[in-house]
């Protein structure tokens, strides 16, 4: 079958979007479309410019025999702020207020459109952090972790509170929960990670950071490196955080149960919290 340029553009766009952060040799495309490399290069130039103009991401060309092209999902700061504003508005609705000053946000974590946008924001921020894997803790961190993982194209490992027979042999550590000061346990399957990997730790909510700190300690047991810490919602200012250098999407400034008001502000992600 002979492919027209217009058809190649549609199919190559799909092909690249499905394989973020993956180096694709140009021969892959010339084989699929039975086209000369020069035509493929011209196609890629069009895709590259359109992706950049629309804030879809970058198309990075790696020259040489082992070279090819790589799609890096990257949003503009403006688009990231828009996603954040939408999320803040949604999260500030007073009917989210639960007894004890907690916020209901399970519906947002279960919404693939919302999570996908937020995943792309974090993948933008950590695009250059050489992330090999994403670590989170069951249960609510999982959709957030997978949303980022899809755009970074790396696996997710899930830490649990209890050991399961389906996990095989595990490594278990004790840690001190930041808020309640209780000793807790977290467990990770031994096969989950190889030593030397760079790991992004993520969770949907962080208060003092005890759980995050526990995951950091778990990394050491696996001889892995910390690539960064990502938090969806950070609790109102806490005197002493147990972790530093995290990137938060939004911050819960104040929750007033009496007036039923929720005040949410930007996290440190957009104006660039420091990366490690």
Tell me the closest approach of the beta carbon of residue 65 to its own copies, in angstroms.
Answer: 25
Tell me the closest approach of the beta carbon of residue 13 to its own copies, in angstroms.
Answer: 4
**Which segment (61-69, 162-170, 244-252, 259-267) binds its own copies by CB under 8 A?**
162-170
d(CA 105, CA 140): 10
Which 54-93 residues touch its own copies, going by CB under 8 A? Answer: 54, 56
- Binding track, positions 38-57, relative to its own copies; x by CB under 8 A: --------xx-xxx-xx-x-
Tell me the closest approach of the beta carbon of residue 50 to its own copies, in angstroms.
Answer: 4
How open is the CA angle 147-247-163, to the nearest 5 degrees? 60
- 196 touches its own copies (CB under 8 A): no
Tell me the closest approach of the beta carbon of residue 74 to its own copies, in angstroms.
Answer: 13
d(CA 235, CA 191): 33
Residue 82, exposed/middle/buried by CB under 10 A (0-12, 13-18, 19+)?
Answer: middle
d(CA 216, CA 200): 10
d(CA 224, CA 155): 14
Please pick, from the candidates 85, 139, 223, 261, the single residue that binds its own copies as defined by CB under 8 A: 139
Q: CB neighbours of 7 closer than 8 A, spacing ≥ 6?
A: none
Residue 17 β-bridge partners: none
State which residue, 80 or 154, has the beta carbon closest to its own copies.
Answer: 154
Backbone angles phi, psi at 113, to 5 degrees: -70, -45
Please pick, from the candidates 74, 121, 127, 189, the single residue that binds its own copies as defined by CB under 8 A: 189
Please pick, from the candidates 35, 40, 143, 226, the single residue that binds its own copies as defined by CB under 8 A: 143
Closest CA to 153 of 133, 136, 135: 133
- 111 touches its own copies (CB under 8 A): yes
Please pick, from the candidates 85, 94, 168, 272, the single residue that binds its own copies as defined by CB under 8 A: 168
Closest CA to 265 of 48, 51, 52, 81: 81
Q: Quick check: helix, strand or coil at residue 17?
A: helix
Which 214-253 residues touch its own copies, going by CB under 8 A? Answer: none
State which residue, 64 or 181, has the beta carbon closest to its own copies.
Answer: 181
Site for its own copies, rule CB under 8 A: 1, 5-7, 9-11, 13-14, 17-18, 46-47, 49-51, 53-54, 56, 98-100, 102-107, 110-113, 115-116, 138-140, 142-143, 146, 149-150, 153-158, 160, 165-168, 189, 191-192
């Amino acid at each position: 079958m002979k492919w027209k340029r217009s058809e190649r553009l549609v199919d190559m766009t799909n092909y690249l979007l499905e394989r973020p952060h993956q180096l694709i040799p140009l021969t892959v495309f010339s084989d699929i479309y039975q086209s000369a490399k020069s035509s493929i290069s011209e196609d890629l130039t069009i895709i590259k410019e359109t992706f950049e103009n629309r804030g879809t991401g970058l198309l990075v060309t790696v020259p040489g025999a082992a070279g090819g092209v790589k799609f890096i999902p990257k949003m503009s700061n403006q688009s990231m702020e828009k996603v954040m504003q939408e999320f803040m508005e949604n999260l500030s609705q007073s009917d989210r207020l639960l007894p004890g000053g907690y916020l209901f946000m399970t519906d947002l974590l279960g919404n693939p459109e919302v999570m996908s946008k937020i995943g792309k924001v974090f993948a933008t921020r950590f695009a250059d952090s050489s992330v090999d894997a994403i670590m989170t803790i069951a249960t609510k961190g999982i959709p957030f972790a997978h949303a980022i993982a899809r755009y970074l194209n790396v696996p997710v490992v899930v830490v649990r509170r209890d050991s399961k027979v389906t996990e095989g042999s595990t490594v278990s550590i004790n840690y001190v929960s930041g808020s309640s000061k209780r000793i807790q346990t977290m467990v990770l399957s031994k096969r989950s990670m190889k030593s030397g990997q760079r790991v992004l730790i993520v969770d949907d909510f962080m208060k003092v950071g005890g759980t995050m700190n526990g995951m950091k300690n778990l990394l050491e047991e696996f001889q892995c490196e910390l690539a960064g810490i990502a938090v969806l919602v950070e609790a109102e200012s806490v005197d002493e955080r147990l972790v530093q250098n995290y990137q938060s999407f939004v911050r819960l400034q104040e929750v007033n149960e009496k007036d039923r008001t929720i005040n949410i502000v930007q996290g440190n992600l957009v104006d660039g919290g420091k990366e490690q």
